[in-house]
Amino acid sequence: MPEQQCPCLTIAVAAGKGGTGKTLVSTSLAQALSTLYPGQVQFLDCDVEEPNAHLLLRPEISAQDPVTVLVPEVDLNVCTRCGRCADACQNHAIAVIRQAVVTFPELCSGCGACAYVCRAGAIREVPRQVGTVHLGRTADGLEFVAGELNVGDQKATPVTHAVKRHTRRDRLSIIDAPPGTACPMQETVDDSDFCLLVTEPTPFGLSDLRLAVETCRGLGVPCGVLVNRAGSGFDGVDEYCEAEGLPLVGRIEQDRAIAEAYSRGHGLLAARPETGDLLLAVFARIEKLIVQEVSQDD
């Protein structure tokens, strides 16, 4: 039987806070979709400060690409100590102290402003590695891309961008976003066709969900909610979704077998194979919502 052509979409999976099961859902969703569209699904881990999707997907890594940014290197023999570079730096990553010019590479975003304003030509830009992109494939044919920020580095953006550059428009791409709603999450979710927000049915979960929804709306990315560990008796998430006209696309019940499997590094499909159909139904709902969104825009 000929293989079905996958819909070429990019779906980000995000959460307003850590610990909601975002990575469990994103990896399991990618695995479920891979059974439907073999060889046509890719998984991108943009949670570069704490990438852990590989623990669940266990890919074979075939290549590792360094991610570098250009940072200034000052030739003190040429430098006049004028201070223009320090004045131009928004990140306080370069300072002129008495007779020395000191740089703080971990604060530098590589914007190049200091070299631009240096009239003496004393600044040369040199590459500095801030992270790594790991490339590979899982045993069941899922293409795997994961970014890893160097320990101690604060600039996740170049690594996030390096991972996103591997997004293929002829594939169905599932992106695991960093938790929270700060810049790394926004840079990951931006440009996606849809953002699936994973939450837990608790007052804390609801509070963070509100922020995540506002962030997606601000970015102009349509979003929907998946409630993980459902069944606590807290109805606040359902009520919020209804009041906001926010699609609640799925619900995964609290299940000890899932928690135990997860603690051993196994995803939803390994713990409960029937969740594969649930996740495919979630995706079908997402596809419909994207079509609706596109037709509203036209």
The residues of the shown chain that bind ligand SF4, judged by CB under 6 A, are 71-72, 74, 79-85, 88-89, 91, 93-94, 96, 101, 108-114, 118, 120, 122-123
Question: Minimum distance between the CB of residue 67 and ligand SF4, rounded to whole angstroms?
Answer: 16
Q: Nearest approach, Cβ of 136 to ligand SF4 (angstroms)?
A: 32
Q: Judged by CB, which is closer to ligand SF4: 99, or 295?
A: 99
Q: For residues 11 and 94, which CB has a smaller minimum distance to ligand SF4 in the complex?
A: 94
Give the burial string for 16-32 (b: 16+ CB within 10 Å, else e): bbeebbbbbbbbbbbbb
**Nearest to ligand SF4 of 125, 287 (CB atom):** 125
**Least distance CB 160 / ligand SF4 (angstroms):** 17
Beta bridge partners of 85: none
Q: CB-side exposure of 130: number of CA atoms within 13 Å?
A: 24
Smallest separation, CB 162 to ligand SF4 (Å): 18
**Contact status, residue 130 vs residue 69, Cβ threshold 8 Å:** yes
Measured between alpha carbons, how far is 105 from 130 in angstroms, rounded to an integer?
10
- The pair phi, psi for residue 280, each rounded to 5°, is -65, -35
Q: Which is nearer to ligand SF4, 109 or 167 (CB)?
A: 109
* Shortest reach from residue 71's CB to ligand SF4, in Å: 6
The residue among 35 and 109 lying less far from ligand SF4, judged by its C-beta, is 109
Alpha-helical regions (H) of the chain: 22-36, 53-57, 84-88, 113-117, 157-164, 183-189, 203-219, 236-244, 256-263, 268-271, 275-297
